Structure 1
Amino acid sequence: MRSQSMKETRAMKVLARLASIGLGVLLPSCTLIIDRNAEQCETNDDCAGFPGTTCSEERVCSEPLCATNQECVEQFGEFHVCSAQTHACADMRSTECTVIEGDYEKDDALLIGVVVPTDGEAAQTGKSITNAVRLALSEIATNANGLPPLPGKSMQRPVVLVGCNDKSDADTAAAAGQHLVSLGVPAIIGAAFSGITIKMATEATIPGGTLVISPSATSVAITDLSDQGLVWRTAPSDIYQAEALVQYSARLQEDVRLALGLQAGDKLRVAILHKGDSYGTGLGRVLEAGLVLNGTSALDPQNNGFYRRFDYGDPDNATTSAPRYEEAVQAALDLEPHIIFSLGTRESVLDVLAPIEEGWQLGAYRPRYVLSDGSVIPQLWESVVQGDTDLRHRITGTIPGTSNPRFNAFRGDYIGQFNDGTSPDVFGAAGAYDAAYLLAYSAVALGGEAPTGARLAGALSKMIPPGDPVNVGEQISSTFDALLAGASIDVNGASGALDFDPEDGEAASDIQIWCMPANGAGDAQSVTFSGLYLAGSTSTLVGTLGSVCD
């Protein structure tokens, strides 16, 4: 362990070097360097006149407390690194972040954080996302032996995963983000949910200069977030999911009219019940704006008494948006809608859909339910629907996803590597796999520049058309070579074409219409793609509901 006297000697050397220049000398953008009570620098560039020093958190030009990760391991033990943020030894682990995978002792290692829920009701989502990142990093290590060496170096660079559990809680995610920022982690894959992503980004990663790529946050609120270009996502904005819901609604209305023998002048009733967070509110409002009902806008006065949108609150933020499930259920029962959009997360199924179905009194018909991706939870088919064939047929929904060849290859590789009960079909898994590759590509494109959040985000601009087509997971080494040569690439991911708009860090995506198939005993099973989907490239519905939904 380095002694206190060694630390003091180092500090004295710095002071001696500064003193030799003269006490009256001022530094650019600095006060007197030996005035420990004043801000002496703003950036490391202000300390350029004093080789070996950096601008500390106290705005003082001083020698770093550590120079290498190995030095920190020798001094404090495993899982300690020399933080690029503080230039001091730091424990990579925290209360939230306990998973460290990869050769972190290498000073040129690329650190990637993953912030997702790994326990609780959303554990399968978080574990599947983490496994997808593991798969990508394993392929890079196996097929390319890591990232190419830095200029002047001969050894390949490892990529290290720092995994954090946010417990589906925004404050916990923000704490994890702050820890990763303090380590100097330049990029994070996560969070899994929109509201949590927004809080982590605004309170931790944006101020800390860390890039975030969410594989599954879809809220329209993220599009206009003041993020300094540091919040991207491989998941599509709910603008696309809302468009799928609008067009699917038109087909459902035709089906209902046909099933009930309604005439052209007979009016249908529709309700939108949504969670009061950024995800549910954003999706509900965009759907409402485009929804056509009875031949006119749902908001047309002609639809008074035939349409209603109801915000049932946010159980994750009960202080400011207390849940109003009973009111929402009663509003739906009073309206007696033919079609009910229930847009949220687990509560949209357990606290909204299920009570409506139980309390429905009208004998002439029962409603069609349309759910969004956040409602895809095991309790839907395992406890709410079970063997009720009629209810199973009346519930469908939307979810971002694709069935392209690249997804199928990812799916096969995932199943071949993981046998822990997780699934590559979970929304966000394919996007996380893509995000890991995008970060690796971006780090390589930087050449010898240190990977910061802003630099990685800037390098992502090399991943959009025009460019040489690249399928993630294929020809890894040749793709790295092309990026080192300054080429641009057009990335086709497992989650779909990743044609990002560099202004908002978003890409269009297919939106699938899902249904629940039945097993041999007639019990509902996990949702599956129906064969009908909104094509992201054309924003039109394509295909038909297949026999898998029977």
Structure 2
Amino acid sequence: MTLASRPSGLALGPALLLGVAGAVVGAALGACSLAVSFDECRNDGDCLTKMGEQWTCDQGHCVAPSGDDSTTATSVTPTTESPTTATTGAPTTSAESSTGQVSATTTGDSTSGSSTGEGSSSSDTGVVACTLNSECEAALGDNFLCVETLCVDALSEECQVLVWPSQGSHDKVVLLASIIPASPPFDSITVPLQNAVQLAIEDYNRTTDLPGGKRIAWLACDDAGSAEKALAAAEHLTGALKVPAIVGPVFSEQVIEVATKVTIPASTFLITPSATSKQITNLADNDLVWRPISSDVYQSNALADRVLALAATRVAMLGKADAYGKGIISDVTKVLNPKLGAKFKSFEYPDPVSKPPDQIMADYAAILADAWGDKGLHPDHVLIAGTSEAINLVLGTMLAWGAENPPPTQPRFIVTHGAVPSMEDIVNSAPDGIKALLMPYVEGVAPDVLDPQNFAAFNIRYKIRFNDSDAITASSLGYDATMVTIFAMAAIPAGEPVTGPAIAGNMGKLVDAMGTKVSFDDVDGTDLLFIKKAHNALVSKKTVDLKGVSGELTFDLATGEVRTNVIGWGLTPKMGMPTVPVLTPMRVYVLDPPPAVTGTWMDL
């Protein structure tokens, strides 16, 4: 029997959750947008100035024709070693642009050509007409772009991180946006995912161009885990900016809200890296909603079967009161309730961003008190369907039960994939006296989203780019979601508009088993051969078969998602350090042949 359709994964060290270290390196710079480039040019085509003059590319710098007193083209931004990001508190104004900080601004499919000089601000309306992004930059500042003949501010309250492509004209770009809650309390698991989005864009831009010589610009939005903010970001992106594609949101509740209310009506392509609610499978989405991760229906059955295999006698299940938590509770209940009856109880808890932290903790305490039941009858297994708030749920349980005399038997905690990246922090945050005791009683289940060889190649670039921090496993999803979106853009012929339906219509070209084999570990030093191979095939109207950082990207074209086995994660002590946990794959839930949603657990 084949153990897994995807390799089972790597045992990643304690640095697994530390990807936040280099994520928002410009945050301390203040309320400003910031984005700069690697080099000014790769060829003379990158050196067309805002005035329509053709300069030449000399060792990465645009050089004026002989006799011109200037030394660099006015259309080219200042350079640095790598694109830099910064979160801002308010949209940057034209006055703020005097700091020398440059922001990426573009439309989904901007036109190019020389400026006519006709775009000007109306004294009574403040509206600036345009045909090019560069006209808006000249008139209003670097945050503005040309959308349907008018200059528009690219920034909004939620969308404050912009990055220009490393080279080329601002008039030859396609905007790719993301909606990811990069602020607390989710930042430890979401900033590494956002980093991966940025790395995918940078990797593509430094390797090749889209047809027509266009590159990718990036606008990052932070929904702070709030559906309201996610909707506001999506409305800005699809309304004012007319973006063709969005990576995110990352939570199921926000994906469902954004897709049904905003992106599907706007015909915008949406690919969520990590949302797993089974409700997403059946959205009436016109093929516009995709995800490189499998539905919760598989991990729900894996979780229930794991509980039964452990011969649990009393089980309390805690789930976040959203589409994700409620969906998993529902599916697990269908399996466990007939087996355990009254010995299985489920409880919902509020989203950790819905109330102030002190009130949330009080709510958690009340839920845990209900879950425990009468003294001496506490559950021996506690299941948590949530995200990083699982840290407080576990530690709250341990501390409260430890105060009883005599204390109850140590329960086993099993978390779902949203909290698997926080498993090490559960133990690291515990009092020293219980770390070693707690470690073997914390485990998790998650869809298989990691190809060991491809992840290793990806992690090398990630560490170099983000201050020597290791990527977390979920970063593979951010990278793959972004790269497949760009590949689908690359299959759009030069001269045709880059739109959501056009991107979605090309997804089938990425999953052809008879197409060119492309594995994301195909690199030679800094040369990303896999990008060149996929790009060359797609622009030649051929198809590809992708194996990403997360594994085989075999999207079901009917549902827009993949089907994978489930990994059972545990914690093992770091060698020589018995209280330091290491997240480790321990077992795999091998799915039965399609269309089955059940499987069998096997130890690794």
TM range (shorter): 0.7 to 0.9
2:537 maps to 1:482: yes
Aligned to 1:307: 344
Letter in 2 for 1:333: W
| Residues 405-424 of structure 1: pairs in structure 2 closer than 5 A | 405-419=453-467, 421=469, 423-424=470-471
Distance 2:381 2:548 in 1: 35
Aligned to 1:133: 197
Q: Deviations for 1:134-164, whole angstroms, at most 9, x for unmatched residues?
A: 22222222333x22x33xxxxx221111112
Structure 1 residue 198: deviation in Å? 2.3
Largest Rg, 1 or 2: 1
Asked if 1 retains the 8 angstrom alpha-carbon contact of 2:225 and 2:353, the reply is no
Identity percentage over the alignment? 29
Aligned to 2:513: 466
Letter in 2 for 1:507: V
| Residues 63-462 of structure 1: pairs in structure 2 closer than 5 A | 65-83=129-147, 86-103=148-165, 105-144=169-208, 146-147=209-210, 149-150=211-212, 156-181=213-238, 182-253=240-311, 268-291=313-336, 298-299=337-338, 303-317=340-354, 324-334=363-373, 335-351=377-393, 354-355=396-397, 358-359=400-401, 365-375=409-419, 376-377=421-422, 379-384=425-430, 386=432, 387-400=434-447, 401-419=449-467, 421=469, 423-427=470-474, 429-448=475-494, 449-462=496-509
Asked if 2 retains the 8 angstrom alpha-carbon contact of 1:329 and 1:352, the reply is no
Letter in 1 for 2:283: L
Distance 2:467 2:545 in 1: 32
Give the match's secondary structure for 2:456.
helix
Q: Deviations for 1:295-335, whole angstroms, at most 9, x for unmatched residues?
A: xxx335xx33322222234444569xx98534432333225
Q: Deviations for 1:23-75, whole angstroms, at most 9, x for unmatched residues?
A: xxxxxxxxxxxxxxxxxxxxxxxxxxxxxxxxxxxxxxxxx942221222222
Structure 1 residue 420: deviation in Å? 6.5
Letter in 2 for 1:284: I
Distance 1:516 1:435 in 2: 28
Structure 1 residue 105: deviation in Å? 4.7
Aligned to 2:108: none
Distance 1:139 1:493 in 2: 14
Q: Do the aligned partners of residues 229 and 357 (structure 1) sit closer, same or farther apart at CA in structure 2, a change above 3 Å counting?
A: farther
Give the match's secondary structure for 2:301.
helix
Q: Do the aligned partners of residues 437 and 413 (structure 1) sit closer, same or farther apart at CA in structure 2, a change above 3 Å counting?
A: same
Q: Deviations for 1:209-228, whole angstroms, at most 9, x for unmatched residues?
A: 22111111112222223333
Distance 1:420 1:199 in 2: 36
Q: C-alpha root-mean-square deviation of aligned residues, in Å?
A: 2.8
Distance 2:260 2:454 in 1: 33
Give the match's secondary structure for 1:475.
helix
Distance 1:238 1:372 in 2: 9
Distance 2:592 2:201 in 1: 29
Distance 1:485 1:346 in 2: 44
Q: Deviations for 1:225-256, whole angstroms, at most 9, x for unmatched residues?
A: 33332221122211122132133223322xx6
Q: Do the aligned partners of residues 337 and 124 (structure 1) sit closer, same or farther apart at CA in structure 2, a change above 3 Å counting?
A: closer
Q: Deviations for 1:154-182, whole angstroms, at most 9, x for unmatched residues?
A: xx221111112222222222222122112
Give the match's secondary structure for 2:175.
strand
Distance 1:358 1:88 in 2: 60
Asked if 2 retains the 8 angstrom alpha-carbon contact of 1:402 and 1:511, the reply is no
Q: Do the aligned partners of residues 478 and 369 (structure 1) sit closer, same or farther apart at CA in structure 2, a change above 3 Å counting?
A: closer
Aligned to 1:12: none
2:567 maps to 1:528: no
- The normalised TM-score by structure 1 is 0.74
Distance 1:356 1:521 in 2: 22
Structure 1 residue 272: deviation in Å? 1.7
Structure 1 residue 281: deviation in Å? 0.6
Give the match's secondary structure for 1:299.
helix
Size of the aligned set, in residue pairs, is: 448
Distance 2:198 2:592 in 1: 30
Q: List alignment gaps of at least 5 residues for structure 1.
A: 1-63, 151-155, 257-267, 292-297, 546-550
Distance 1:132 1:537 in 2: 32
Q: Do the aligned partners of residues 128 and 444 (structure 1) sit closer, same or farther apart at CA in structure 2, a change above 3 Å counting?
A: same
Q: List alignment gaps of at least 5 residues for structure 2.
A: 1-127, 521-527
Q: Deviations for 1:374-394, whole angstroms, at most 9, x for unmatched residues?
A: 224364122236553222111
Asked if 1 retains the 8 angstrom alpha-carbon contact of 2:572 and 2:584, the reply is no
Letter in 2 for 1:329: L
Distance 1:179 1:105 in 2: 24
Q: Deviations for 1:417-456, whole angstroms, at most 9, x for unmatched residues?
A: 22165x41142x1111111211111111121321111211
Higher helix share: 1
Aligned to 1:265: none
Asked if 2 retains the 8 angstrom alpha-carbon contact of 1:216 and 1:235, the reply is yes
Asked if 2 retains the 8 angstrom alpha-carbon contact of 1:496 and 1:509, the reply is no
Distance 1:251 1:385 in 2: 30
Give the match's secondary structure for 2:306.
helix
Distance 1:458 1:307 in 2: 45
Q: Deviations for 1:335-364, whole angstroms, at most 9, x for unmatched residues?
A: 522222122223333146622662265767
Asked if 2 retains the 8 angstrom alpha-carbon contact of 1:69 and 1:82, the reply is yes
Distance 1:90 1:388 in 2: 53
Give the match's secondary structure for 2:573.
coil
Q: Do the aligned partners of residues 180 and 269 (structure 1) sit closer, same or farther apart at CA in structure 2, a change above 3 Å counting?
A: same
> Larger relative contact order (C-alpha < 8 A, sep ≥ 6)?
2
Letter in 2 for 1:430: S
Letter in 1 for 2:338: L
**Deviating more after overlay: 194-203 vs 430-439:** 194-203
Q: Deviations for 1:185-221, whole angstroms, at most 9, x for unmatched residues?
A: 1111111222222223233322322211111111222
Structure 1 residue 505: deviation in Å? 1.0
Give the match's secondary structure for 1:304.
helix
Aligned to 1:499: 554
